[in-house]
Amino acid sequence: MRTARRVSLIVEGIGTYAITGSASGMGLHTARRLRADGHRVIGVDLRDADVIADLSEPHGRRAAADAVLASAGGVLDGAVLAAGLGPGSGGDRSRLIAQVNFLGVVEPLTAWRPALAAADRAKVVVIASNSASTVPLVPRRTINALLAHDPDKAVRSLRLLGERGSALMYAASKIAVSRWVRRHSVTRDWAGAGIRLNALAPGAVMTPLLEAQLAEPLEGKAVRRFPIPVGGFGAADQLAEWITFMLSDAADFLCGSVIFVDGGTDAFFRPADWPDSVPLRALPRYLWRFARGTETG
């Protein structure tokens, strides 16, 4: 059974894939899976990668995007945006989270879009998080500032919380990047260009990011108490299987989805929140988009 299932998840053909955060965690395991299947992987990370770049800096993001395009020869069959920072101590942590978790995703992806469009049915997987739906009271102004590409405003929106604001910045970054995926995935530039753009929202997965959180006394205590109905933490290699599936031909009809793989945490906290019908207040916009169809992109 294991062998049969493994075959079904292999990405068809031989392609070139860009992976940020390729030196550890889910990015590393995904890179190993793709390379084992014969694909070319262009890894981006702070170390132990094909492209060494700091995604927390504008010039680092530009350099990473340019280096990947040059290495790929202008054609990418897919991309995995797995680089990310979690909550933690340090006065600049919120700013770093905003830069890496949001701008470090959308800026490289925007630069890579023509190369993805040049491939046949390219697939993109953005690593989101179930923090987008399980962390309460995330300020809307923080999310909107990120979506407006204004990390300074996002940081200012949480300044009264001090270092404790990093947890809300993390959740805000994952909400913002999930909404960015949803909004852009269905447009002419993405779906219309043959690119399948989706997000994977893991829960507590044993990666260096989670290990760092567990090492913090207060945060580690909160993480260990967080409900996971199936018990325990997820494994990075298991999530890599999901990512590989989302890059495969089996995911041709997957577009704009945010897939939760979190041991049941999201369902535990919000069992009745989704799916839900279109509310009355949203009906005019719904009907307008219905009439326009895919032209809304």
Tens digit of pLDDT for each residue in 21-42? Answer: 999 999 999 999 999 999 999 9
User: Tell me, what's the pLDDT at 4?
Assistant: 38
Q: Does 93 score more than 90 pLDDT?
A: yes
User: Tell me, what's the pLDDT at 11?
Assistant: 63
Q: Are 89 and 216 in contact (CB under 8 A)?
A: yes
User: Tell me, what's the pLDDT at 2?
Assistant: 41
User: Tell me, what's the pLDDT at 62?
Assistant: 98
CATH number, domain containing residue 171: 3.40.50.720
pTM, entire model = 0.92
Average pLDDT over every residue of 61-87: 97
Q: Does 3 score more than 60 pLDDT?
A: no
- Domain of residue 30: give its range: 2-296
User: Tell me, what's the pLDDT at 112?
Assistant: 98
Average pLDDT over every residue of 111-122: 97
Count of C-beta atoms within a 10 Å radius of residue 192: 13
Q: Does 295 score more than 90 pLDDT?
A: no
pLDDT (tens digit, 9 = 90+) per residue, 209-250?
A: 788 878 887 778 888 888 999 999 999 999 999 999 999 999
Number of domains composing the chain: 1
Active site residues: 170
